[in-house]
């Protein structure tokens, strides 16, 4: 089975998990949860600037930032990089203790702090060799609104009323009054397992 990156290099997917036999993206409910989570996150990341460029230029000169081409880390705590700054990230990861942050919620923040404090790869430090294919040959990922619509359409939750649950059944507790529930929307549909 071939591994492929979609949109940004770094996160690799088992081709058969995300593409149908005719080369189109599978419906989201047919994609394994981890891959689905990464694909959904990628939709919001593909147009973002490189984190390192942003740390250098900031909002004032965001036009000088290169677009991210690579993603490392876990969804929500990822580092986005351009080709020029990937060696800095790899140096941090391999030589400066970045590997210790794998799976940690501060993964991206730790790299950002190191980079902002002047951390850089030595001149000539090698990056990774990537095999690029023609992005026009890949099918377009579904639109973010379409993904949200599909997720909501497939949700099979049930309505619960939290007033029916006693958190301390063995203790003498004062029942909740309407004043205790101010600001809580008891008519909302909350997801359940």
Q: Which DSSP state fits 2?
A: -
pTM of the model: 0.65
Average pLDDT on 3-32 reads: 89
32, two tokens: 């394994």
Please determine, for residue 86, whether its predicted confidence score (pLDDT) is greater than 90: yes
Please determine, for residue 67, whether its predicted confidence score (pLDDT) is greater than 90: yes
pLDDT, tens digit, for every residue of 104-131? 999 999 999 999 999 999 998 876 554 4
Q: CA dihedral in degrees (25, 26, 27, 31; nearest 10)?
A: -110
Which helix (DSSP H) or strand (DSSP E) does residue 18 occupy?
Answer: helix 15-18
15, two tokens: 């081709």
For tokens 């992005």, what's the residue? 135
pLDDT at 51: 97
For tokens 């973010």, what's the residue? 144
3-class DSSP assignment, residue 141: coil
Residue ranges of domains in the chain: 1-44, 47-127
Percent of the chain at pLDDT exceeding 70: 65
pLDDT at 101: 94
Strand partners, 70: 9, 81
pLDDT at 131: 47
Percent of the chain at pLDDT exceeding 90: 45
90, two tokens: 């790899």
């Amino acid at each position: 089975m071939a591994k492929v990156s979609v949109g940004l290099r770094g996160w690799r997917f088992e081709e058969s998990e995300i593409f149908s036999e005719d080369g189109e993206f599978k419906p989201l409910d047919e994609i394994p949860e981890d891959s689905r989570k990464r694909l959904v996150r990628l939709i919001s990341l593909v147009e973002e600037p490189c984190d390192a460029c942003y740390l250098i230029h900031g909002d004032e000169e965001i036009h000088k930032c290169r677009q991210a081409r690579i993603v490392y880390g876990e969804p929500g705590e990822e580092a986005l990089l351009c080709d020029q700054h990937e060696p800095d990230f790899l140096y941090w990861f391999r030589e400066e203790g970045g590997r210790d942050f794998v799976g940690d919620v501060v993964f991206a923040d730790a790299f950002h702090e190191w980079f902002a404090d002047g951390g850089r790869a030595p001149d000539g430090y090698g990056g990774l060799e990537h095999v690029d294919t023609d992005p026009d040959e890949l099918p377009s990922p579904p639109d973010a609104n379409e993904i949200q619509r599909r997720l909501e359409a497939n949700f099979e939750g049930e309505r619960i009323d939290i007033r029916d649950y006693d958190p301390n059944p063995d203790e003498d507790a004062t029942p909740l009054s309407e004043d205790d529930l101010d600001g809580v929307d008891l008519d909302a549909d909350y997801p359940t397992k």
